[in-house]
Amino acid sequence: MTTRPTSPQEKKALSYARDRRPAYGESDKGARKTEPRRKAIETRQDRRKTDQALAAIPALDEAAMDAAESDARHATNRVGGWRKVPDLALGEYVQRHLRGREERAGRKQASKARRQAQDD
């Protein structure tokens, strides 16, 4: 079975639906560094919390010691709970940009007119 070729309009619609763009105010290149950094920080916090729980074991009785050890081995503590913000679909991203452009349209002329009115 052969698939029929898609028209440019269909390709564009698919691109708007499938492609993603970052929406959290950071450059798309910056995410390459910040996401691994955030994950590493989260993991360090988890390890620190587990180490603190294990350091308190000598002061505990036998039952509490077993529970703390079991918790340290099997449970993963999520301290900060950082989550990556999902990227926007390209269609939503473009609409957001166009809306912003419409809101900014004519600001220079309006500002210039206000300054001239104040000077007069």
Residue type, 54: L
The model carries a pTM of 0.54
Within a domain: 2:
no
Number of domains making up the chain: 1
> How does DSSP assign 1-49, residue by residue?
-PPPPPPHHHHHHHHHHH-EE--SSS-TTTHHHHHHHHHHHHHHHHHHH
Q: Is residue 11 in some structural domain?
A: no
What residues make up the domain containing 92? Answer: 19-119
pLDDT digits (tens, 9 = 90+) for 81-113: 777 778 899 999 999 999 999 888 888 888 888
Note whether 70 and 55 are within 8 A (CB).
Answer: no
